[in-house]
Each structure stands twice: as C-alpha cells, then as structure tokens.
Structure 1
Amino acid sequence: MPATEAPSIRHPARRLSGRVVELLRTPPGARGFETEPVAALDLGFSGIQGDRHGGETRRSGGREPWYPRGTEIRNERQLSLLSVEELADVAQALGLDDLPAAWIGGNLLLSGIARLTWLPPRTRLVFAGGAVLRIDGDNAPCRASGRAIARHVTDRPSLEFDFVKAARHRRGLVAWVEKPGRIEAGEGVEARLPEQWIYASEPSAS
C-alpha cells in the first residue's frame, strides 16, 4: 500500500436530530460551578456572558499538564452539554432516582441524540434559532462533580469517587460558540458530524 493511501475505514458525514430539554447557567455572584435553570441562553463569541465558564480565553489547569498552571489559552470549554439519556444511566449506576444537570454544572440538557458523549470533535450543533456550537470533545468526569452530588445526597460521601467511574464516557461534552444566537428550551437541534477516520502512523497490512 502506498504511504499516502488511507490505512483505515472512513465514516461519512451524517446528521442527527435532537431537542433542547433544559438550559442552565451559573447564578449571578455564585462561586461554585453548579448551575440553575433559565428559559433561554443568549450566546456570544465568549459563550454565556457572566457565566463561570464564559470568556474567549481561560486559564489552564489540571486538564492541560503541558502548560504551566494558569497559562492563558483559548477557551474551548465555554459550555457543558449533557444528555437526558446518559444522565439517567449514570443515576441508575449510582443508585440514584435522578441526577439533575444543575448539580454537575450543565448548561444544555439535550435529548434524542444517542450516546451524546461520543460525538466526535468538530461536530456542529445547529439550533433551530440559528445559534451554532462546535464540539471540542468529551467532558471527563471529575471528583469535583462527585463532591457536588454528595452535597445533595448527604448519606453517600463515596459519590465523590463513585461518580468518576459511573460517568466515564457519558458525562457529556464541552463546546464553544461558533455562531452567536439565542437558544430556548424546547427548540430542535441538529448534530452535523464530520467525516471521520482514525489516524494510523503506519499503513495497514491489508
């Protein structure tokens, strides 16, 4: 096989339809990352104005060990996206009746898109009202979210650790605003997946 020939299977671009179930943001003046429901979100290039995760840039942290902590970098984590179906699975795994998106800092709760967390980077989420988000990647579960849940379920301190395992690959996505606009609860959304393939440094043997 010539070195320039693709060594792996390519998956064509496709579109999936879903719906906005709930919108949330950081309460004004709040210091934590938990959010509260709102009727709509007005998005600019900086994300949600005044939100804890808003801004065109952010400071690096433990997720970016290749930078000194506190380095100013592009903010690709402006919004946290969660799935009704995945949260139900996580709640069941934890033995909880419910797991509200607000407890773990969600901004958009979506329904109808299977395995939301597995949507690939570069996927566009095009909302009926005209706003467009660009997916950066999955949002790895952390102990901080587990501690937030444990504050609401006070007889289960182990949730700080249990959540990290239960939410792996189903904790949702982080995204940034590609096209500003207003998103309202109940509106439709279309996930536009790009063509996909897995990079291999060496051609396959076939």
Structure 2
Amino acid sequence: MQETNLKLFPVTEPAVDIVPGRKLTAKAAALYAAPFDHFETRAVEELHLGFDGIAGDFHGGTTRRSGGREPWYPRGTEMRNERQLSLVAADELAIVAERMVLKEIKPEWIGANLLIEGVPHLSMLPAGSLMFFKGGVTIKIDAQNKPCRIAGQSIAQHVGAADRDATALLFPREAKRLRGLVAWVEKPGTIKVGEEISVRVPEQWIYR
C-alpha cells in the first residue's frame, strides 16, 4: 500500500520550509480610541477591552458588516468582527510618510488603536500571533490591515494636501505591507500606556 501511494502521489515539490515559533518583547507606546460615529481615533491613557473590543468604539462589536475586503459576500453581510483593533508601528508610518513626501502620518489619522514599539517589521507578524499584555489582556492578530482610500482621505485632510484625491489614492499604494495589523480580543481587561507586551509568534510554514 505504501509503494502504491508513493506512485500515485509523487513528490514533485521541495519539502515545506517550517520556521519555528519565537517570542518577542514589546511595549504599548500609545493608545487610541474612536468615537462611535467616526473611524479616526483620539489618544487615551487606557483601553477597556471586552470580547467585543473597545466599548463604544467605531470598530467595536462581536460582529461587523462585510465590505470591499470580502467580495465573496454581498456587501453588508453580518460576519464575525476580526477587526476590533488596529495596530501600527511608528517606524513603518515614517517610511510611508517619506514615500508620500509628508512630514508625518499620525496613528490617529488612520484609526489606529495601539502604537506598538519594539517589534521589527510589525506588519509582517503572521496571523495567529498572540500579544500578552502585562496587565492580563491577550489579543490575537488576524491579518495585515490593508491600506484604503478612506484612511488616505483622512491623511490628505490633516496635511492640507493641495490635491486631496491624489494624496488619498497614494496612501493605498505606498502603505502596502506597512499599514500595521488588525486583531481581536481573546482575553479581555484593561491596557495602559507604556504597558509591556510579550509577543508569541507561532510556527510558520508555506502551504504550496
């Protein structure tokens, strides 16, 4: 039987490369929350997180409505909210700002909730990575946060761009793979500014 299986399913590709998991340390350098009616955020000293994310936040809720990121559903379909939190890194935003020939891009302009310090290439953390905050909160990374024109429009407005449409369209192109991550709350509690974080990156492999 074993020989038959080998003949039916010959090895035509190299073995899958598996990268071991690892642990990193980080810090919540700044925290932000959004009013319920607008995606832009404001700096706060604490974030009170439940299983539905930040209470009253624009992106809060256990479910959300599908949009352009989910073309497999009719727009507006109710689905699980895996985008409760938006995470960004200052070094990545600085790169995007330089590419767009801007002095800066502030996290709150693009709806960020956490400014993470200490993780190299934050946007490249794989799905399934866990962030354990010293105070007891745990969040799980879902995916990269795809840059969109709405965030670009906010940037254009804040910098007083002469051509707002052009600046808004520039952001999705220049911020690709640098716009941070989206995450959801696995273990609720309160996060404070400056809190230490233990990051657990899972074992990774390429599914060919």
Q: If the length of structure 1 is used for normalisation, what is the TM-score?
A: 0.92
In the comparison of the two structures, how many residue pairs are matched? 198
Q: Secondary structure at the match of 2:179?
A: coil
Displacement of 1:4 = 10
Answer yes or no: is 1:112 the counterpart of 2:110: no
How far apart, CA to CA, are the structure 1 residues paired with 2:130 and 2:161? 40
Determine the structure 2 residue equivalent to 1:154: 160
Selected match of 1:167 from 150, 156, 175: 175
Name the CA shift for 1:174/1:110 in 2 (closer, same or farther; >3 Å): same
* 2:19 maps to amino acid: H
Which protein has the bigger helix share? 2
How far apart, CA to CA, are the structure 2 residues paired with 1:155 and 1:165? 17
Structure 1 range deviating more: 121-130 or 4-13: 4-13
Name the CA shift for 1:162/1:127 in 2 (closer, same or farther; >3 Å): same
Q: How does 1:114-153 map to 2 (within 5 A)?
A: 114-153=120-159
Determine the structure 2 residue equivalent to 1:191: 199
How far apart, CA to CA, are the structure 1 residues paired with 2:26 and 2:47? 17
Unpaired runs of at least 5, structure 1: 201-206
Unpaired runs of at least 5, structure 2: none
Q: Report the structure number with the largest CA radius of gyration.
A: 2
How far apart, CA to CA, are the structure 1 residues paired with 2:167 and 2:21? 38
Determine the structure 2 residue equivalent to 1:180: 188
* 1:23 maps to amino acid: L
Structure 1 stretches of at least 4 aligned residues deviating more than 3 Å after TM superposition: 1-6
RMSD of aligned residue pairs (Cα, Å): 1.7
Determine the structure 2 residue equivalent to 1:18: 26
Displacement of 1:32 = 2.2
Q: How does 1:50-89 map to 2 (within 5 A)?
A: 50-89=56-95
Q: Secondary structure at the match of 1:149?
A: helix
